[in-house]
Amino acid sequence: MGDQKGKRGRAAGAHQAKGYRHPEASALLRPDVGLQAQFRKKKRPVTYRYDPSLSPTLEWTGKAERLSFDVPTLPLFIHERLSTSAILETLKGHKRDQQTDMFDLFGESGLPIHERLLKAYEHRNGWVNRLILGDSLVVMNSLLHYEGLGGQVQTIYMDPPYAVKFGSNFQPFVRKRDVAHGRDEHMVREPEMVQAYRDTWELGIHSFLTYLRDRLLLARDMLHPSGSIFVQMSDTNLHHVREVMDEVFGPECFVSQISFQTTSGFQTRTLATLGDFLLWYARDPERLKVRKLFEEQPVVLGEGNARWVLLPDGSYRGVTAAERRGEAPVPEDARLYKPDNLQSQGAAREPQPFTFEGKVYNPGANSHWKPNYPAGMERLAAAGRIHVAANSIQYRRFASDFPYKERGNLWTDTLTGSFTGEKTYVVQTNPKVVERCLLMTSDPGDLVFDPTCGSGTTAWCAEKWGRRWITCDTSRVPIALARQRLLTGTFDYHRLKEPDRGPAGGFEYRRKQNRKSEEVGGIAPRITLQSIARDEPPKEEVLVDRPESETDVTRVSGPFCVEATIPAPVDWEGDGEEDSGDAAAVAAHADHVNRMIEVLRRVRVLHLGGGRKIELAAVRPPARTLSLSAEAIIDGADDQAVAIVFGPENGAVSEAMVFEAAKEASAKEYSHLYVIGFAIQPDARRLIEDCERAVGVPATYAQASMDLIMKDLLKNLRSSQIFSVCGLPDVRVKREAKNEYRVELLGLDVFDPVEMNSDHREGQDVPAWFLDTDYNGLCFHVCQAFFPRTSAWAALKRSLRGEFDESVWAHLSGTISTPFEAGERGQIAVKVVDDRGNELMVVKPLAEVES
């Protein structure tokens, strides 16, 4: 443990860690995943229809026939609660009476279990940011119809697959980013791969446009009337995407097409492509929220506002050729300026002669002086703002009057890697791009949504700038990467104007100058001819990207949670309860099972650890079954017949489902039961591990790729790792004192049903593992977080120097936890994230730990 220097006073140079909270915002209470079986607030699917009055700007295969589409309305269950502050509290002192209120640190309501269930989607709770596993279409529909978030999102940033190459948006697993287009062997070369976010579309661009239009339609419903949406795209399909957005939002809602540079260029036969594009659309152009962005105006001698030199003695001259070339310096204390026009069109009612330095000047024919005459002209003269040309006078516009310019729609300073460091995801966008979109169209405390999470750049930028955020992805790999990035990220602590209101009260901005009298603060005066002539203070522009910051505070992410789309219980779980009489839902599950059987027939392969696999033949529905989904023969295993059960399309495999399927498989003397699902409850995993002893038939859980949820839009390549078998974490719990424990991650077992043994991976060779020191069976609270293979905590470690011993950080990059005191529930849970992004959890009662 650390030496707890904080108790004796913070060490010199040490930083305090804080996270932003949003006290004025709230969200409807969502149920914990442990309450899934009891949740009954089911809603019917929603049918979305396209407006037939819209004149189609683009046609593609299947569009004319697709006048509407149905989306299941699924609840969002909370799987994990995360808080960097909570983790830091456990490092300061492992005694529970030394810790602050953990409910508060996790942003949790603390409601009793029965009220969490009964008040789900009714009770308003404090706001926590949200990382959601699920198809963006289903997630948005849930947010709209379970939570009423329509019209609540200020900014949407969407970076969809570019629909060109599967390598462009595909990352096989947590630590591999080099994927080449057309190299299908990349999908099977490594033992741990998952198809995350690939661009292999069944009908190519036609499927992509269908995918995009559906999601844009729901995104439009989520936007606030003053809101904006940005869609990132390459030049290949940019024109098609703009046509689709014109159709969904209306061409009048188009705001701008932004070009941003991503590379310095590659050698090509024709012309190098240097970047990508953003299409910016408004929900309502008349109500659009816009915050101007400014960039520093570089001083180029001889150009712009730096063409003339005003010397300290009052004399002036043009910039010399030697000064332009950099061969001679501009004299010290000289001021650079540009002579500007002092006249406006239209004759004055009276003559306007103006005497300056003994000479009379009159405006030209049919013109008048811009400043009010004569007082304004006299003020300009007194301020030294009049430049005498050959036969006229002009206004001196100094380079220092406003050393900034409004940022336009061409961004050339956004090369990936120029300031952001190494990518963590194959399609990671430069944060500078996303930041500018958020700063232009939202204020602190506003809600930001990204339906294409990827590495979590939008969430990270929203967190950095005090916005609330929701992001989702259909793949576990991006969720795993985003979770780590957010949990271990550090940010500047921007000073709050009204601390009691949190970021919603705004950031504090100040006008500041350096020793050279240059404006360096977040408020910059814009000196103009008008402000001088009228003797008015200059207009002040707020540079929204320059708020005041606390130098002795390191900001960490506020509390956030990991959620997933899971359907309400229905009859197919086999628990004997009439949970739902919804015939449409039962029919939808039957369609799901039939489709999964067809996929399994085409793929045939279940992938194991170490590059091993089994192949299935004769996959078919079983005759007269109550609980099983399919049966098959294992090739090369004496034609053994095995049973298969598929979990729900959008939910987790339950213990009741496994038990009923295992009873039937045992009674029909199948040699093995394969349980295939997108997610699985801990109780169901435990039953599968003990299935042979408890029920009489061995069982194996196979993880299905989340890509299958995309249904017919994606190809199901035979070589793809659609199904993979994963095991349970191997942990050791050690009692160190009367009520004090440590946990060691020994490794991860991957069960091989062919050889009937386990492939063991050492604990030091997993991407991440988490510890809940008082697991309540409902939701996993990350009390300690470990990243053995990376230096994920390095930035926080540097920022909090002096707060903790070096040994504390060594623990967080290793396999042994810091000590903790037993909680009131007397059990812990350990969750391991494998290379495929799968989350594998084991629960251990502390009463069973030997002294």
Q: Is the pLDDT of residue 577 over 50?
A: no
Judge residue 282's burial from the number of C-beta atoms within 10 Å of its C-beta, 0-12 exposed, 13-18 middle, 19 or more buried: buried
Per-residue pLDDT tens digits for 505-527: 999 999 998 888 888 899 999 99
| pLDDT tens digits, 720-770 | 445 666 677 889 999 988 888 999 999 887 655 455 455 677 888 888 999
Report yes or no: 277 and 259 within 8 Å, Cβ to Cβ: yes
Q: What is the pLDDT of residues 22-31, one digit of tens each?
A: 999 999 999 9
Strand partners, 235: none
Q: Which two tokens stand for residue 416?
A: 């990936």
**The pLDDT of residue 184 is above 70:** no
pLDDT 10s digits, 659-680:
999 999 999 999 999 998 877 8
Buried b (16+ CB within 10 A) or exposed e, 603-630: bbbbbbbeeebbebeebeebeebebbbb
For the residues of 428-468, what is the DSSP string, one character each?
A: PPPHHHHHHHHHHH--TT-EEEES--TTTHHHHHHHHTT-E
Burial class (CB in 10 A: 0-12, 13-18, 19+), 578: exposed
pLDDT per position as a tens digit, 466-501:
999 999 998 788 888 899 999 999 999 999 999 999
Please write the tens of the pLDDT for every residue from 538-569: 999 999 999 999 988 999 999 999 999 876 54
What is the C-alpha to C-alpha distance for residues 787 and 745, in angstroms, rounded to an integer? 12
Q: How far is CA 227 from CA 48, 586, 830, in A?
A: 21, 38, 41
pLDDT > 50? residue 421: no
Complete DSSP assignment for 772-816: ETT--SSSEE-SEEE-TTS-TTHHHHHHTTTTS-HHHHHHHTSSB
Binned at pLDDT 50, 70 and 90, residue 359 comes out as very high
pLDDT at 586: 62
Confidence check: pLDDT of 123 > 80: yes
More confident residue, 639 or 531: 531
pLDDT band at 260 (very low <50, low <70, confident <90, very high): very high
- Residues 6+ positions from 385 with CB-CB distance below 8 Å: 395, 396, 529, 532
Residues 436, 437, 438, CA angle at the centre, nearest 5°? 90
